[in-house]
Structure 1
Amino acid sequence: MLASVTQLIDHAGDWALARLADGDRVFPALVSRDRVLDLCGSSALGSPRDTGDLLDRWDDVLPVLDETARTADGWRPLAGLHVLSPVEPRQVFQAGANYRTHVIDIAVAHADGSDGRTVEQVRADAVAEMDTRLQHPPYVFQGLPSAICGAYDDVVLPLDGQQPDWELELAAVIGRRARRVSPDDALDVVAGWTIVNDLTLRERIFRRDAPALGADWLAAKNSPTFLPTGPALVPRTAVPDPSDLRLTLRLNGEVMQDESTKDMLFDVARIVAHCSTVATLLPGDLVLTGSPAGNGLPRGRLLRAGDVMDSTITGLGAQANRCISEQD
């Protein structure tokens, strides 16, 4: 188990920030490959109780974390510890339809020919829609923190869910309270990055009883465990440029998603800036940046109990989540 967890939590830079559990005790820690350093007793860091305590003071504690990683004693093996989500956000912002190829694939998958358009026309209309969208703000909605689970936890498929699908995404972790930040300055309020898998019940996105009301993201996105997050927060200093990171998701060993963040319609800075014009961003908040092509619905292959999703993003480690039925 140690070898697999070490591989999954491998990350860019000398250290990453994690939330770990040793039995009932939860503590913030630095992670460096197969070693962890408990930060609870660090007087230099103000004896933080959780990663949220550090994110509230991120600009001040970042150089201390660097120094601690280089000089501190007391590292212990990662083996035997439970890796939790690295953050407990107060707010979760989720960008929708933000990868060009993904938008086209979903449009084609939902097309039933009832409007008389051919597949080629549907594709052309989707491309034209993206060109138009670039003249307007990104499309962002909110998720619930209660959907979050750890990077290696089981994903529970709801008994009444019919089309559970995967959506691997890069997430920005906010490290500074921010309101109306410009796109040029938006990355300055980002503490770092983490991996999320923003699972979706496809059949619940659009309600047939009220089609004029639009997407029902509450029902589609927020089942418990539908947002595996982590394994760690990799500081932005270790991955300063998110514009060309590779996202890869395998289902039972078969590659399903494999795309670069280059395919984003709106870049990370634009999404963060937009969120800050609508709401006040708080330290520890998650800003999800959309999912690339390769989801299950266009493939006609959705999640079933027993499936295992293995997900990686360049420099951020990896996730491994097994799907189980709610009745189990």
Structure 2
Amino acid sequence: MAEQTYALIRFQEPGGNKARAGLLVGEQVLPLDEDITSLIQHWDTLESQLDALAASAGNGTSLTLADVEVLAPVEPAQVLQTGANYRKHVIDLAAAHREPGEDEAEVRARTAEMMDSRAGQGTPYFFIGLPTAIASATDDLTLPAYSKSHDWELELAAVIGREAFRVTPEEALDYVFGYTMVNDITTREYVFRKDMPAIGSDWYRAKNAPGFLPTGPLLVPAKFFGDPQDVQVTLKLNGQVMQDESTQDMIFGVAKLISEASQTMPLRAGDLVLTGSPAGNGAHWGRLLRDGDVMEGTITGLGTQLISCRDEIPAESGRS
């Protein structure tokens, strides 16, 4: 008998206020007693039980996916983000930000050469995100009123399964519990500090507003996901394809990212490691997020995100 594949979700029932973990088999949701972090931490002992539960789906108590509210599938203590990790994306950004008078073809050729050298001899670029920015795969995204330069960045994210500290690239994927999808929203005008250019990037202001990390809907165990370097990342804006790239375009693959990240700090069970955004962001298209926009994100095997954008309505001042 073939193994029954499944995904994990976090959900709550209509009218409820308690988040639960569930096993998703087809359109059936099988409620679980453990929370999602505990499931990840105790996977060695629970995996066979969940396999058996999935195989017997339909024989016991279950809910339907349409009848529950799906939440972000993880509650990480740490969110590690990766910048400039897709070759075409970096080349596009360099072209978009070239100095006046610079030849675009020359900028692209120079940047491509730099990225090829970096892939062979360089190291990944990491920064830290805040778990408070995580939202579900269907929550509305409020576009903060302080800027009109909010952008999308759909990414594959690895979920760590057990503590990984100073692991090698060869063993790094053994520490991955599974994979999910994250749209790493960015306020472009805040990425670089104009008042303190020597300091460089300001990722706190650029990436950590409420809801700036729509996550999920699914957490797919690694054994069902396959090769993370051979999936398609696609984002549509109001039905128009903006990002559509294979993870083969990564400069540093998932194993290299996890290994390098673990050299500095221990990665813990449930932590998120975002792997970078492929080409096709709003900065490339000259079209950033607006009130009423709808983003539809898909990554092979990880379900669909559907995010509606709404302008923030600033609180009225001067009222008691």
- Compute the TM-score of the two structures, normalised by the length of structure 2: 0.93
Quote the residue 1:100 is aligned against.
87
Equivalent of residue 28 in structure 2, options 35, 39, 47: 35
301-310 or 77-86: which moved more?
77-86
Q: Distance in 1 between matches of 2:53 and 2:255?
A: 29
- Compute the displacement of 1:209 (Å): 0.4
- Compute the displacement of 1:63 (Å): 2.2
Matching of residue 123 in structure 1 with residue 123 in structure 2: no
Letter in structure 1 aligned against 2:94 = A
Quote the residue 2:284 is aligned against.
298
Q: Distance in 1 between matches of 2:198 and 2:5?
A: 50
Q: Distance in 1 between matches of 2:41 and 2:153?
A: 29
- CA 1:310 to 1:291, structure 2 compared with 1: closer, same or farther past 3 Å? same
Q: Distance in 2 between matches of 1:132 and 1:208?
A: 29
Equivalent of residue 271 in structure 1, options 247, 257, 265: 257
Equivalent of residue 14 in structure 1, options 5, 16, 25: 5
Q: Distance in 2 between matches of 1:59 and 1:275?
A: 24
Runs of 4 or more off by more than 6 Å in structure 1?
A: none
Sequence identity (%): 53
Quote the residue 2:65 is aligned against.
78
Letter in structure 2 aligned against 1:272 = I
Aligned length, in residue pairs: 307
- Compute the displacement of 1:80 (Å): 2.8
Task: Give deviations 1:75-125, integer Å, cap 9, x for gaps.
Answer: 221223111110000000111110111000111111132xx5311121122
How do 1:49-68 residues align onto structure 2 when only pairs under 5 Å count? 50-68=35-53
Gaps of at least 5 residues in structure 1 are 1-11, 41-47
290-299 or 52-61: which moved more?
52-61
Q: Distance in 2 between matches of 1:96 and 1:271?
A: 11
Q: Is the 8 A contact 2:12 2:69 kept in 1?
A: yes
Q: Secondary structure at the match of 2:169?
A: coil
Matching of residue 140 in structure 1 with residue 126 in structure 2: yes
Equivalent of residue 26 in structure 1, options 11, 19, 36: 19
Q: Distance in 1 between matches of 2:146 and 2:66?
A: 36
285-294 or 130-139: which moved more?
130-139
- CA 1:311 to 1:297, structure 2 compared with 1: closer, same or farther past 3 Å? same
Q: Distance in 2 between matches of 1:13 and 1:108?
A: 47
Matching of residue 326 in structure 1 with residue 312 in structure 2: yes
- Compute the displacement of 1:13 (Å): 6.4
Q: Distance in 1 between matches of 2:4 and 2:96?
A: 40
- Compute the displacement of 1:241 (Å): 1.0
Task: Give deviations 1:10-39, integer Å, cap 9, x for gaps.
Answer: xx9621001001221211100122210110
